[in-house]
Homo-oligomer: A and B are copies of this chain.
Amino acid sequence: MQLVEYGAPLRLVELPVPEIGRHDALVRIKACGVCHTDLHLQEGSILRGRPPITLGHEMAGEVAEIGEEADWLKQGMRVLVNYHYNCGRCHNCRVGLEDECTELTSGGFDVDGGYAEYAKAPAKNLLPLPDEVSYEEASVLACGGGTVYHAMKANPISLGETVVIYGFGGLGTIALQVARLAGATTLVIDISDEKLAQAQKLGADHVLNASKLDVVKEAKALTRGEGPSKVFDLVSAAVTLETSLQMLHKHGRLIVIGALNKPFQVNPLHLLSNRLQIHGQGGCPSYELKELIKLVKEGKIRSIISRSYPLEEANQALEDLRRGLILGRAVLKP
């Protein structure tokens, strides 16, 4: 299913199986998650690889062909693809910050991705999947799961700390589980009562509806007047970010995860008087994706898949996502 023109539906195209290089592998796609970013790419509001390009960056499948330098792989191996194809050579790759590679190429963004029967990927980006984790569950870890998991590893949660999860969509369901697993007291903020009810079911300690309440005041009240020490903002609208800076405790940290391209305002005096920190966070290195897969295998975290579509119904899946009909995540199955 290729994007051939911005703004137009994806088109079903018959293509030759990709040829792989010495360091690559070919993956027979079994499931590919459908992400909000795919909508942006289709619409052309995020410009990356030039059409025609195959979208899909949440890829899980089995190894179909193996490059000469990738002899540790085995035919038929079940794998998740880390679509952040880092160079492995730059300074950041060498110091363990592979998600901050200065030469990053992304599958489904810059090169062909997983809305297809086969995808080519660097062998080092394939992560073994245990039998206990289905392809559907695995696929959505690649982007949605990994992003929040990495954000919470890079900004570690201390036992008993109160953290805010601002926005309870697909990423929010994982964020809440990870925060709870790390021993946090959790406060979920959203503008939908339905989503907040879901958050409570998943164990949120507190929920607040930002369309009905003064969330700064309420968040302070829930923390003896101090405010939470971390806010994970999965929305990143100016209003959520600016509200978050008001609610934080002295020495608190705002973690910016939602990928919005519109500025927000910060007052330097407020920032320094309260010793606040703002951290931009994204991506997930392979070694943390492996941990996340292990946690899903052990049943400590679970992916929430609301619906599967056959590959040729990709446009339907995107349309349903655009209309807000997907709770959790949609997955394509070739």
Identify the A interface with B (CB < 8 A). 72, 88-89, 91-92, 94-98, 100, 102, 124, 149, 152-153, 156, 158-160, 178, 181-183, 185, 226, 236, 241, 250-251, 256-282, 285-287, 291-292, 294-295, 298, 300
Contact between A91 and B291 (Cβ–Cβ < 8 Å)?
Answer: no
Contact between B259 and A264 (Cβ–Cβ < 8 Å)?
Answer: no
State whether A261 and B256 are in contact (beta carbons under 8 Å apart), knowing that A100-B250, A250-B102 are contacts in the complex: no
- Bound CA span A273–B149, Å: 17
Contact between A264 and B262 (Cβ–Cβ < 8 Å)?
Answer: no
Contact between A258 and B268 (Cβ–Cβ < 8 Å)?
Answer: yes
- Contact residues in B for A276 (Cβ distance below 8 Å): 279-280
Output the nearest chain B residue to A277 by Cβ-Cβ distance: B279
Contact between B183 and A251 (Cβ–Cβ < 8 Å)?
Answer: no
Contact between A272 and B256 (Cβ–Cβ < 8 Å)?
Answer: yes
- Contact residues in B for A279 (Cβ distance below 8 Å): 275-278
- Bound CA span A281–B89, Å: 25
Would you mind naming 13 contact pairs between A and B with Cβ atoms under 8 Å apart? A92-B250, A92-B251, A94-B96, A97-B250, A149-B159, A159-B182, A159-B291, A256-B268, A258-B268, A259-B268, A266-B266, A266-B278, A275-B282
Q: A257-B272, A265-B265, A268-B280 are in contact. List 20 more A-B contacts (CB 8 A).
A: A92-B251, A94-B287, A97-B250, A100-B275, A149-B159, A156-B158, A181-B183, A183-B300, A185-B298, A256-B271, A259-B269, A259-B273, A260-B268, A261-B269, A265-B266, A271-B280, A272-B282, A273-B280, A276-B279, A278-B278
- Bound CA span A262–B270, Å: 10
